[in-house]
Structure 1
């Protein structure tokens, strides 16, 4: 695993980049084959230092503080700001306090409760509009709860126009060294950002939109955005913000996602037929529920106009891997404003059609009717009828795109 490293991102402002290539799952749910980065920051006036966040407990405390010791004595860290108490940002806080000289720890009121409960750490509570001083420098406190926990705040360094944005503007992917947004393939990076949004932040997307509106309403024009995961933004802030706003609104592209499960190959055959129909009209994203990457699935749902679900019956019910995906969509409310089609294959009865339809409605989808149910694989005339059904579904899904 690459070592933590420092990079200057402004006048006496440092980015402490902590790459994690050891963890295979984020939140122990979401696959991160490219790892993830934890970002902490240091702000100084040349005398005292403010540390913003720490790291997940994936490394020894001495590995975390080694880069800091290259620029200052740890006793000069007089203040620490906790933007968000989730353990991927606060996991080393207790050990860090033992290495420093009783710095003041700042947090929101809700974060204060969490820090006491999780680590028995007392904090000085700050609220929206307060400031934290670092010598003659000032950081504004901007409370923005539910991005994606109820404890979150941003900080804004006035003299450098740097916004420390916690989990907003984040992305997956570990960094071998700290780089800015204009020092990598930004298009590829945005795939990681979209997957991070879909899996981690999407449930609270309305709060993200309010955060963007609040930043604008305060008249802030950050030149740099420093998130808790991913790269620091300086050249692509407008592009990133535009994409983030689109994801928050679940804006639709000419795209249909097909999610299927199969036990013996027949349902997969039907999914291939559906894909051929869709590809004549729109982009098709196809996922086998058994071995799919959940990040990719939810990311595709975000900007799809419609979703086709094709499931075999399993002991009278929906195929379990499909239930798992739909339950995650339900948590994220990713079906809002979108339409879904349900297709069931079976040899005998069951409740799969109604069961899946209700789960999808609970996820925010409008469910297209009638639901298609086929015994074994559709006969040729049934397949023609199914093709017509899919064409009508695509018409409805793409109607306003």
Structure 2
């Protein structure tokens, strides 16, 4: 059964959902699945904006057939060549062999890397500022390289103010039939997942996101159609402001994320004691994570959200406890910066964790150390509580700006 919705006269959502997929990119947990959005414009000329993952091919082709009603497809616009969006290009071309596939040089290079079909005769090259008239509707092409792949483009439909934004402004989480932001509790259902999506998928490329903001800053955007998640037609300012802040690596709010590694519970006990002391001092919005249990993508999301971080971990095999080492590696790879950090190490006979965590954070930009780092010997004893009190005082003073 087809499943489509009109989002503007002559413009339709023709995407679908995959609630069976457990790991996005075989990396990131999907509690509520994911949507793959695609759009069809039925004007004097017809155009599809991006396709979908091959996991939902049957549903997708049925959607197209229902709306096309035997018409020819004139254009297939490829804004993003990642397989979850280009998985049906070949199927579209087989059904519409005369279709013009619209992309840039990098798009077609990547197509040749992923697929065997020769589409040379179908190719239509476009670049920054080029426009494509479909009749009443007109698409202006905006190059957005490295948001978050090198070939990425966006399209601005100049008559309706619709921005087809590729992966930007998207989120994890399947759609529920309500495809617009004003039809759902976006903050309740999607915002946390939108941040997790941004931080882990796009986060490294903040400078490139800022470049796109400069390009679209003068556009009168009325609607944002991403390739994942709800369409924005009401509270565009919410997601635009958050993307601006996230891409500047600015914390959304003051708060503390404590993430620890623990072998036998001693480091965990210290982390919990610190959280309790911070709460006693009036600090709110404290998040505590065991790095061995919680997937790094969730911790990274809160690292993007909050201003202060506390890392606590033991030495392991003369190095840093592996899950903590992995998390810090991901933070470095994603370009995390502009945070205030406190560090607690632990060891029984040879100390390495404290030194290695300090080095990892020093390699990140503008990471300010708050309080004195200290290194426990197996377990923090009652007569050493003053060290934790001093650290809690320093963190609380910074968070509360005392």
TM-score by length of 2: 0.93
**Corresponding position of 1:305:** 307
C-alpha deviations, 1:203-241, integer Å up to 9, x for none? 11222122122111xx31111111111111100101221
Runs (4 or more) in structure 1 with deviation over 6 Å come to none
Q: Name the CA distance, whole Å, in 1 between partners of 2:302 and 2:175.
A: 24
> Offset of 1:397 from its aligned partner?
5.3
SS of the equivalent of 1:255 reads strand
Among 97, 117, 124, the alignment partner of 2:93 is 97
**Corresponding position of 1:11:** 9
Q: Name the CA distance, whole Å, in 1 between partners of 2:51 and 2:288.
A: 39
The alignment status of 1:55 with 2:55, answered yes or no, reads: no
Q: Is the 8 A contact 1:4 1:18 kept in 2?
A: no
Q: Name the CA distance, whole Å, in 1 between partners of 2:352 and 2:334.
A: 25
C-alpha deviations, 1:163-220, integer Å up to 9, x for none? 101111111110132521011112112122111111111111222122122111xx31
Q: CA RMSD in A?
A: 1.8
Give matches, 1:28-67, under 5 Å: 28-45=26-43, 47-59=44-56, 61-67=57-63
Q: Name the CA distance, whole Å, in 1 between partners of 2:399 and 2:356.
A: 22
Q: Is the 8 A contact 1:172 1:196 kept in 2?
A: yes
SS of the equivalent of 1:340 reads strand
Q: Name the CA distance, whole Å, in 2 between partners of 1:178 and 1:68.
A: 20
Among 283, 286, 289, the alignment partner of 1:287 is 289
> Relative to structure 1, is the Cα distance of residues 171 and 210 closer, same or farther in structure 2, using a 3 angstrom cutoff?
same
SS of the equivalent of 2:4 reads strand
Give matches, 1:136-147, under 5 Å: 136-147=136-147
> Offset of 1:361 from its aligned partner?
2.0
Q: Name the CA distance, whole Å, in 1 between partners of 2:14 and 2:196.
A: 23
Q: Name the CA distance, whole Å, in 2 between partners of 1:338 and 1:97.
A: 48
Give matches, 1:111-130, under 5 Å: 111-120=107-116, 121-122=119-120, 123-130=123-130
Q: Is the 8 A contact 1:35 1:172 kept in 2?
A: yes
Matched residue count: 393
C-alpha deviations, 1:32-79, integer Å up to 9, x for none? 11111110001121x4310111111213x3331101111214651111
> Relative to structure 1, is the Cα distance of residues 83 and 398 closer, same or farther in structure 2, using a 3 angstrom cutoff?
farther
**Corresponding position of 1:190:** 191
Q: Name the CA distance, whole Å, in 2 between partners of 1:375 and 1:320.
A: 19
> Offset of 1:362 from its aligned partner?
2.2
Q: Name the CA distance, whole Å, in 2 between partners of 1:30 and 1:242.
A: 25
SS of the equivalent of 2:81 reads coil
Among 392, 395, 400, the alignment partner of 2:397 is 395
The alignment status of 1:177 with 2:173, answered yes or no, reads: no
> Offset of 1:366 from its aligned partner?
3.4
TM-score by length of 1: 0.93
Give matches, 1:344-359, under 5 Å: 344-359=345-360
For structure 2, the 5+ residue unaligned runs are none
Q: Name the CA distance, whole Å, in 2 between partners of 1:385 and 1:178.
A: 52
Among 324, 329, 350, the alignment partner of 2:326 is 324
Q: Is the 8 A contact 1:342 1:371 kept in 2?
A: yes
**Corresponding position of 1:374:** 376
Q: Name the CA distance, whole Å, in 2 between partners of 1:350 and 1:374.
A: 9
Q: Name the CA distance, whole Å, in 2 between partners of 1:269 and 1:72.
A: 62
**Corresponding position of 2:256:** 256
C-alpha deviations, 1:15-45, integer Å up to 9, x for none? 1121111211111111111111110001121
**Corresponding position of 2:228:** 229
The alignment status of 1:343 with 2:344, answered yes or no, reads: yes
> Offset of 1:353 from its aligned partner?
1.7
SS of the equivalent of 1:5 reads coil
> Offset of 1:303 from its aligned partner?
2.4
